[in-house]
Amino acid sequence: MKKKVLILSGGISKERIISLDTGLQVSKELKKNGYKVKISEPDNNLEKNIKNFKPSVIFNALHGQFGEDGYIQSVLERFKIPYTHSGVIASSIAMDKEISKKIFLKNKIKTPKFFTYTYDEPTSRIVKKINKKFKFPVVVKPINEGSSVNVFITDKKNLIKILYRLQNYKKVLIEQFIAGREIQVAIMGDKKLGAIELKPKRKFYDYRAKYDTKAKTQHIIPVDIPKSQFKKLMNIAHKAHKIIGCKGVTRSDFKFFKGNFYLLEINTQPGMTKLSLVPEIALHKGISFIKLIEWMLKDASTKK
């Protein structure tokens, strides 16, 4: 008998639309393959939906804040029902770019140089700090958003304007800009699933490049790098997955520049839409969308 699957999607983060799309795609695929499925928002009706539907497993299709930062995971722990992706602590660490980058560095994983900026600090000091630590252009981004939401590459001239735009976050990450090739790696449990290179038509692989079909980002698979370099890349992604304590499927975002791989971040709940990278990597390895989802459901039932 097929499992009853409750899909959590939507939410209140800036990635709500992507989450709804992920939930819909997963739901369609499961229903097509004989599963009984219910989609639920992570709202006040969640407990009622779980009690009435009695799922054997929960597919967490939420993205962004409250969905992949440990918050909803701590809520789900109360119900004692297996759920997909990483647990509370790993989700929390991976979502916090400052903490995760410090862990990468401690474990000898290259990541762009960075520092954090809180808005009680004079902006004049920031320019001096950037010039001392690295140079312009720099990347400015929130500490805990996904899907490249509110990520900017900026020069000295526009820095203050960008910081002003992001002031609601209270604290942002200012990071060394690394040029080079954009490569994403998928890890599936203990399996080094594969990688894909992205060539965005836009300045970088931002929110629009990820989700707007008109942005025409080129996907290249297999990645054209020497076997020894590819092996090194996969080992770094697998190491990051393990040291953060991740579970299920993750996607790590890298820049490849002058023979070095720089890990930007690790995503504990990568998208499962028609434009998503993990399903594309899996398919290249002969794993269909339904097989990928079924593996995730089975993996959810193993001890966290």
The pair phi, psi for residue 13, each rounded to 5°, is -80, 175
From 15, 68, 175, 206, the catalytic residue: 15
Single out the catalytic residue among 83, 205, 207, 211: 211
Exactly one of 251, 252, 276, 294 is catalytic; name it: 251
Task: Specify whether 251 is catalytic.
Answer: yes
- Please tell me whether the peptide bond between 222 and the residue prior to it is cis, using omega within 30 degrees of 0: yes
Strand partners, 262: 255
Task: Please tell me whether residue 141 adopts helix, strand or coil conformation.
Answer: strand
Active site residue 47: no
Residue 262, SS3 per DSSP = strand
**Which residue of the set 13, 27, 100, 147 is catalytic?**
147
69, 267, 276, 294: the catalytic one is: 267
Catalytic site includes residue 280 = no
Token output for 176:
């060394």
Tell me how far apart the alpha carbons of residues 196 and 283 are, in angstroms, rounded to a whole number.
12
Given 29, 197, 265, 294, which residue is catalytic? 265
Number of other residues whose CB lies within 10 A of the CB of residue 239: 17
DSSP 8-state class, residue 302 = S
Give the Cα separation of 224 and 34 in Å (integer): 39
Which one is catalytic: 27, 252, 271, 294?
271
CB burial class (10 A; 0-12, 13-18, 19+) of residue 85?
Answer: buried
In 3D, which of 242, 249, 251, 238 has the Cα closest to residue 293? 249
| Residue 271 annotated in active site | yes
Residue type, 20: L
Q: Which residues are known catalytic residues? A: 15, 147, 211, 251, 253, 265, 267, 271
